[in-house]
Structure 1
């Protein structure tokens, strides 16, 4: 296959993977040194926020909050032996949200002065009063005591923005060189970093300063059989995390092996990019000659880096309360898990299934001290022993399910976008009894082990779905036997989670991350982590994705 044809065939998919995850408004391109300059100090931000709060109250707001945000992004792109691009951006501005006449109003500005913010606050109140003419029910906020002046910083060890670009380029080109030396045909790699410097103030009496960091290393390798033109690819088994550059300093204690015979390696709180690309180079060549799966019922053993996406789509999204109530339908619709469905006590999964929401876990993408409406973050149960016990909700939703407090999962991707309910970290809890991955596999007579996330689809109520992966291995009589290809599994959410038979213990627990989770209209993007240990699901329908229908 000629390179030109290969690029034409795969350009769209590769482009989707490697687009930088900058806020929707786009930041201004800046010199990388600018990303290290300090922003406004807290005293200055408090004066600016008070100008907005006072203007909102004077204009008739019964409640107001001000978010001053500085959003820094940097991505380095490489392909084979070349650097394809380096982008550093900064975005700085203020969003003001108010309630007037029982109705929300919002306005934003990049004129970060007391006069500019006051003007935005006045506009927000005007918008709220205009909206109130068609508002049927007044906004009801769950009570929230003010925290005074507080701060929260991500517990990073090394600020990724302080690492010289040359070091990042050398790392990525070293990854590419490793893959090429091992015989792959093409390789590209990327390193993206995000720093959100956010200041929140409200008429409740909170002044909250937060410093949030995220980092995402990734690559894609492709091997080609030039005689047939057949090609196969494998993406990195990394996860984006809420950490600094220390994530790219691998530690032996963080390494977790997949089942014997699979050549899969997982990582906890650090990531060995060179080790992963070496495994990918080996696996991608094996995929060229791997046996195509025979459709049928199989027991599935799902690696955390794969299962995280299934959790995200079949648990995280359908338990967002705005989807449940029908207020949100963008990005795959509403939810089957209605209040009536919950009231009937219908099982969401087997008794093995315990799923929690948690925005306090260090190193995760969703970890912050306070959400974007000034609520202290927490952990709470969503599914307990297979039963749905709660949803994900924010201040103006709590009363809709008879509750008196927010879950602290409100978020906005930038200063110019209004904050709304977003998914927290949602994780399947590991088993309490000691159980290794090999022991889990040993109980499978006919099955498939799946690692990495691939293409997927899910219906408009988050019920019927299909998921693929990156690498697949046959399990026969308790042993990994050979690599498979063309694997995807189909199920509905309730059927799938009811087939959950066992999950490994805490020693295998790892996080998968979604760096760009889309929701809303206009669309916003957020980042969220999903933890699990390797887990077995019995009797799941597997299809062959290469077979033609009819």
Structure 2
């Protein structure tokens, strides 16, 4: 429908869509738009913890969750869809006879929670018959009653739908005026209201907000029928709606991504239309060896696939082999203390605390206060990502705080935290980096990728490619992808821009586990240079 008709009907539709789900009574009807009262959640949690203890559990934790999502989807000057979802329930995890048990329910009454807890304990006791070694859970102090909230100025869920539609229509109009033939744009908003309690003595209330504003612009050559696309370069973030208040006059109007603390979606749409049209006449790349200058909007995905996944301890130990593969970064390499994951310039760290990141929370989903830690230090592999029942395998005593479940109905397990590349210590701008490159390609934005089951051999594309000759950008290229292996690639890193260029990229949909779960994770970096990397032409053979 068009914008005018949509806005006439949208208010009533949104009001209905955001009502709590029908079905079980939630805490004696004490659910409000802002969630369940904390005192009620504590009462329900104590029901689970006391039931588990009485039935013989040596440890128990409970997660009460309310998950809200909103999607606003448009194409050209029309609204395609608005979807609001809500899910409420409780998951309880126990250790009984040295074995894990888990159960979940959306019957949010004292009796319903007691029944689910009894099921979790019974499951653990049944599993104990088949488990060789008991669970070794790292010690964790209780924090009492604490809370954490995503720092934000504007709760995106409370912004009027009309304002969101107006933003997307302005974005689409800007792209069409700048030469786009088609544009799809959307808003994806998430609010996780999560309450955690455990027999360690923690009662943790968290309110987590995330948003993403993606779009795709298409330009068509009407004479040849050829077309090119360019996706938006704004990144998903753990921020409020103020992230979309960006204004181009406060940013660099060039190939630099128009985001950091805020994102000018309208200006990016204009640039996308111009660049998609420029792609139609861009020359196809000549295969060969190039020095690559990789923007953070591109490099985040390479970090995710070649560092984040291979350093998940459960993958390293083979627990993910049946579904997602294993890892080349085996325990023996870490134990040697000498494995060169990258050059001396490369310092990679994990965290769940970076402001504005998708992974930022105060506590993980087993009540561990979040922090950061080194994975690769001056090129050497020094650690992995591990949770409470894994760290003893590394001879460590404290969880890294990277346990997560995507729903109250899913069991929490080790998930990738934010994994990022430290910026360089010497002052270096992108322009100065490019001046030192004789034959290279500057890559902006993420594209298609392929990586093997051990996260070693890979190929990555992108959104925008610019040829560099003798320190100057000479024009746009097309059909570019680079190939390498993880160790060779990170050892080719010769320069990293300083902290002024540091930015976050990321994904809402990092998949893992059976049954599969998704999590949201960010990866930060400054622009970095990688020398003598193999580039292929993805379209055709060249003479």
Q: TM-score range by the shorter chain?
A: over 0.9
Per-residue deviation, residues 315-336 of structure 1 (Å, max 9, x unmatched): 0111000001111236641110
User: C-alpha separation between the residues in 2 aligned to 1:87 and 1:435?
Assistant: 45
Cα displacement (A) at 1:254: 6.8
- Give a deviation string over 1:418-440, Cα, whole Å, max 9, x none: 00000011110001111010000
**Contact kept in structure 2, 1:255 and 1:268, CA below 8 Å:** no
Q: 1:337 aligns with which of 329, 343, 352?
A: 329
Distance 1:387 1:200 in 2: 36
How far has the Cα of 1:81 moved from its partner?
1.2
In the alignment, the residues of structure 2 paired with residue 549 and residue 179 of structure 1 have an alpha-carbon distance, to the nearest angstrom, of: 33
Q: Secondary structure at the match of 1:289?
A: coil
In 1, distance between residues paired with 2:60 and 2:406? 19
Q: How is 1:186-197 mapped onto 2 (pairs within 5 angstroms)?
A: 186-197=182-193
* Residue number in structure 2 paired with 1:32: 18
Quick check: 1:276 aligned with 2:268?
yes
Distance 1:101 1:188, change over 3 A: same
1:265: Cα distance to partner? 3.0
Whether 2:33 is the aligned partner of 1:51: answer no
1:504 aligns with 2:497: yes
Aligned equivalents of 1:254, 1:315: Cα separation in 2? 33
- Provide the secondary structure at the position in 1 that maps to 2:318: coil
Cα distance, 1:46 vs. partner? 0.4
**1:210 equivalent in structure 2:** 206
Match of 1:237, SS state, is coil
5 Å matches for 1:368-379?
Answer: 368-379=361-372
Instruction: Tell me the SS of whatever aligns to 2:409.
Output: coil
What is the alpha-carbon distance in structure 2 between the residues aligned to residue 341 and residue 251 of structure 1?
A: 47
Instruction: Pick from 382, 391, 396 the counterpart of residue 384 of structure 2.
Output: 391
Deviation at 1:31, TM superposition (A): 2.1
Alpha carbons of 1:211 and 1:86: their partners in 2 closer, same or farther (altered >3 Å)? Answer: same
Q: Tell me the distance in 2 between the aligned counterparts of 1:33 and 1:396.
A: 39
- The Cα of 1:362 is off from its aligned counterpart by 1.1
Is 1:318 aligned to 2:292, yes or no?
no
Counterpart Cα distance in 2 of 1:139 and 1:386: 33
Partner of 2:228: 232
Partner of 1:286: 278
User: Is the aligned partner of 1:441 residue 2:427?
Assistant: no
**What do residues 349-398 of structure 1 show as CA deviations (whole Å, max 9, x unaligned)?**
00000011111111110000000000000011111000010100000000
Query: What is the aligned counterpart of 2:476 among 463, 478, 483?
Result: 483
Q: Which structure 2 residues correspond to residues 100-139 of structure 1 after superposition, within 5 A?
A: 100-139=96-135
Query: In the alignment, what sits opposite 1:151?
Result: 147
Residues in 2 aligned to 1:406 and 1:122: alpha-carbon distance in whole angstroms: 27
Query: How far is 1:119 from its partner?
Result: 0.6
Q: How many residues align?
A: 519
Residue 252 of structure 1 deviates from its aligned partner by 6.3
Distance 2:445 2:204 in 1: 37
Is 2:159 aligned against 1:163? yes
Q: What is the CA–CA distance in structure 2 between the aligned matches of 1:29 and 1:251, rounded to whole Å?
A: 31
Q: Say if 1:320 and 1:346 are closer, same or farther in 2 by CA, change over 3 A.
A: same
The change in CA–CA distance for 1:240 and 1:30 in structure 2 (over 3 A counts) is farther
Q: Who is 2:463 aligned against?
A: 470
Match of 1:300 in 2: 292
**Whole-Å Cα distance in 1 between the matches of residues 345 and 443 of structure 2?**
20
Pairwise CA RMSD: 1.7
Deviation at 1:182, TM superposition (A): 1.4
What's the CA shift for 1:548? 5.3
CA contact (8 A) 2:258 2:264 kept: no
1:343 to partner: Cα distance: 2.3
Per-residue CA deviations over 1:280-307 (Å, capped at 9, x if unaligned) read 0010001001000000000000000000
Q: CA deviation at 1:32?
A: 3.3
- C-alpha distance in 2, partners of 1:254/1:449? 24
Distance 1:346 1:135 in 2: 34
Unaligned runs of 5+ in 1: 1-27
CA drift at 1:228: 1.4
- The question of 1:94 aligning with 2:90 is answered yes
Question: Secondary structure of the equivalent of 2:440?
Answer: strand
For 1:59 and 1:193, locate their aligned partners in 2 and report how far apart those are by CA, in whole Å.
Answer: 40
From 499, 508, 514, give the equivalent of 1:515.
508
Cα deviation code 1:2-27 (max 9, x no counterpart) = xxxxxxxxxxxxxxxxxxxxxxxxxx
For structure 2, list consecutive stretches of 5 or more residues without a partner in the other structure: 1-13, 22-31
What SS does the aligned partner of 2:243 have?
Answer: helix
